[in-house]
Amino acid sequence: MKIRSLSHVGITVSNFEDAVDFYSRTFGFLRAPKGGVVEIFEFFPSVPSQHPVWNKPGPTHFTLDVKNVKQWYNVLKAKGITFLCEPQNTDGTEWVFMKDPDGNLYPFK
């Protein structure tokens, strides 16, 4: 048995309309080129956001596989997207982490 692909990712946000705008503008899609979907949820009443705790069991991020990490970084940085650092290279793999408006982390590699 094999897993064929990632079907979708669910993200809880503080403002639905702002999140749809952000993800559409930043990535150009809410459905990925190979069919994966970004599901966006807003709940009422909402609970205050907590930043991911890296050393706590559970999900912390999902990674977007892109061509030319530096180009993505430069284009999104020019649009005002916040990054944790400039693109890095580890053992020949370029990567960088961006933040969405709610502080969720998304690495590009």
Residue pair 19/73 in contact (Cβ under 8 Å)? The answer is no
pLDDT digits (tens, 9 = 90+) for 36-70: 788 888 888 777 777 767 677 766 677 888 889 99
Above 90 in pLDDT, residue 77? yes
27 contact partners, CB below 8 Å, separation of at least 6: 38, 64
Share of the chain above pLDDT 90, in %: 28
pLDDT for the residue numbered 27: 80
SS3 23: helix
Go through the chain and tell me how many residues it has.
Answer: 109
- 12 has which bridge partners? 41
Domains of the chain (ranges; CATH) run 8-47+61-108 (3.10.180.10)
